Chain A
Amino acid sequence: MMNKWRNNRAWFLVLPVFVIVAFSAIIPLMTVVNYSVQDIFGPGQRFFVGIEWFKEVLLDQRLHDALFKQLAFSGLVLLIEMPLGIIIALMMPKKGWTSSACLVILALPLLIPWNVIGTIWIIFTRPDIGLFGAFINSTGIAFDHTASGVDAWITLMLMEVWHWTPLVALLAYAGLRAIPEAYYQAAKIDGASAWAIFRFIQLPKMRGVLTIALLLRFMDSFLIYAEPFVLTGGGPGNATTFLSIYLVKIAVGQFDLGPAAAFSLIYFLIILLFCWLFYQALQAVGTGDKS
């Protein structure tokens, strides 16, 4: 970035955003902080308990389980989605009606409400009436995501990859389209291989959009709720009880507001920490590649 104009009056331009986001963010956040340090029995009956809930939550074995599963899930999903999305973006036609058609088809899964995604996959993977379920079972492999934890994981991963890879692909495609033709011509003169073009021209140029893609995908996969809730309900057993499903069990199922609030604050901080690390790492990578 070149030197920008120094002007603190620019704050007036940011003010509307600040007000509207603060209205929806800060007041509820303060309320949650307030819950997290109290024991609430009912309206008017509450006691200050300090950091008691935080201690309880941090020592909760089931929460550790859920966190571990969540990390594994998000990690695996990112490892599949990011490269796959980039490959698809590289394969897409550059112009003409075929590129519009690709964009439209790619965007379709993104436009389906999240609980409907779960519904689609229930239908799709049923062994008796679903295309996928029937296909797998006809090959002789017994596949049932309601009975086997491994199958439930595979189904969820497939669903997540199906649902969100297009977002990475769309963003990566945007990054690729912004590279001037002259860069490719220069590379051609130098006799650069396809890999060299990818490594030294395309990848560095996609850094900005890939940062957005990675952060969005990490946050949303870490917060995933509606799809596994509809598809497996956290089961079989606790196989797919991710953090948010466990959290809802405490908050809504048992109505333990204090621990649930403490839980969600810790949850929030974990995501914040990871996003900040990703953000810093990607910024650093970018400045190193700029040469």
Chain B
Amino acid sequence: MKIKKRHFALICYLILLFLPIYWMLNMSLRTNADIMSTFALFPSHPTLENYMKIFSDSSWYSGYINSIIYVTMNTVISLLTALPAAYAFSRFEFIGDKHIFFWLLTNRMAPPAVFLLPFFQLYSTFNLIDTHIAVALSHCLFNVPLAVWILEGFMSGVPREIDETAFIDGYSFPRFFIRVFIPLIRAGIGVTAFFCFMFSWVELLLARTLTTTVAKPIAATMTRTVSATGLDWGLLAAAGILTIVPGALVIWFVRNHLAKGFALGRV
């Protein structure tokens, strides 16, 4: 009985969690005229018109492609740089280690509004404005520290005897790291990649400032549409639903890793 009550509460929470998303899905399947004229819990005449519009207009769908490109680049860069650093923090004591560790986290604390202009100037100097790599690099500011922080936790959960044994067996450091160590924390890498993907995907201010047309992210395309064409609620809802899809796909594919990775987390 007690267990049932617990599950009931959890299911209620998950339904409440899903309601706003359901409402957007509902609206995305209706025309704007329909939305404004009637209030309906279920779309009475579901239509895919809004989605067709997005998939047939390149100014819309290129936004999704751009976002996916820079998010992927950012995730790869963050993981590649954070892996060795996290290893250093979890295994070695060196001058300034604790300070650097905390300093890394402080980079998430800068209010972006004012830092946008210096960012723009910096990336202009390197001729990187409106490229995917510029956005990917700028997102490293908050993703790399987070990746180091999370990976360090997973790595500290791996006993150091494993490293020692491998070195006695004659493994060189790079070979040990790639062949032995990385497979051990694979699930942790999955979790970290998920977090990097997530934070880069949802960030808007930096992505919008550093791009104009070629690398414009989808979230920026959406804000422009809101102001330009009045409010086409149906179209807006459809675009919003489509912003959830890539993330939902990622999480569906890594769900087992995620559960396993979370289970390995050091606390």
Chain A residues with CB under 8 Å of chain B are 1-11, 13-14, 16-18, 20-21, 23-25, 27-29, 31-32, 35, 88, 91-92, 95, 99-100, 102-116, 119-121, 123-124, 128-132, 134, 162, 166, 170, 173-175, 177-179, 205-209, 212, 215-216, 219, 223, 225-226, 230, 243-244, 247-248, 251-252, 257, 260-261, 263-264, 267-268, 271-272, 275-276, 279
> What are 9 pairs between A and B in contact, CB < 8 Å?
A8-B95, A9-B94, A110-B198, A111-B201, A130-B23, A216-B146, A223-B112, A260-B114, A264-B111
Question: Which residues of chain B are within 8 angstroms of A247 by Cβ–Cβ distance?
Answer: 111, 113-114
- Report which of B20, B24, B113, B117 forms a contact with A244, defined as CB distance below 8 A: B113
Contacts of B72 in A (CB 8 A): none
Other-chain residue from B9, B118, B236, B250 in contact with A119 (beta carbon distance below 8 A): B236
Say yes or no: A162 contacts B17, CB within 8 Å.
Answer: yes
Contacting B267 at CB < 8 Å: which of A2, A209, A267?
Answer: A209
Q: Which of B43-51, B52-60, B178-186, B258-266 contacts A (4 or more CB under 8 A)?
A: B258-266
Main secondary structure of the interface of B (DSSP, over half): helix
Contacting pair A120 B144 (CB below 8 A): no
Pick the residue among A92, A116, A123, A174 that contacts B265 (CB under 8 A): A174
B212 at the interface (CB under 8 A from A): no
Chain B residues closer than 8 Å to A100, beta-carbon distance: 255-256, 258-259
Q: Which residues of A contact B95 (CB under 8 A)?
A: 8, 11
Task: Kindly count the residue-residue contacts between A and B in the assembled complex, taking CB atoms under 8 Å apart.
Answer: 286
* Chain B 63-99 interface 0/1 with A at a Cβ cutoff of 8 Å (1 = within): 0000000000000010011101101110111110100
Closest Cβ of chain A: how far from B44's Cβ, in Å? 14
Tell me, in angstroms, the Cα distance from A271 to B85 when the chains sit together: 25
Determine the distance from Cα of A17 to Cα of B77 in the docked complex, in whole angstroms. Answer: 10
Q: How many residues belonging to B are interface residues under a CB distance threshold of 8 Å?
A: 103
Contact of A91 among B6, B194, B205 (CB under 8 A): B6
Contact of B258 among A103, A121, A251 (CB under 8 A): A103
| A-B contact sample (8 more), CB < 8 A, given A32-B115, A116-B222, A119-B226 | A1-B156, A10-B88, A91-B9, A95-B259, A109-B21, A111-B244, A170-B262, A219-B108
Is B162 in the interface zone, CB < 8 Å from A? no
User: In whole angstroms, how far apart are the Cα atoms of A263 and B233 in the complex?
Assistant: 37
Chain A proximity of B173: nearest CB distance (Å)? 9
Contact A251 B92 (CB under 8 A): no
Q: Are B104 and A17 in contact (CB under 8 A)?
A: yes
Closest 8 A-B residue pairs measured CB to CB? A111-B247, A174-B262, A10-B92, A31-B118, A28-B118, A13-B88, A177-B263, A264-B114
The answer for the CA separation of A125 and B106 in the assembled complex, in Å, is: 35
Cβ of A104 to closest chain B Cβ, rounded Å: 5
A116 touches B240 (CB 8 A): yes
Min C-beta distance of B87 to chain A, whole Å: 6
CB-based contact B202/A114 at 8 Å: yes
Known: A21-B140, A24-B137. A7 touches B243 (CB 8 A): no
A contact residues around B233 at 8 Å (CB): 123, 129
A5-B93, A129-B233 known; A123-B223 Cβ under 8 A: no
Contact A177 B93 (CB under 8 A): no
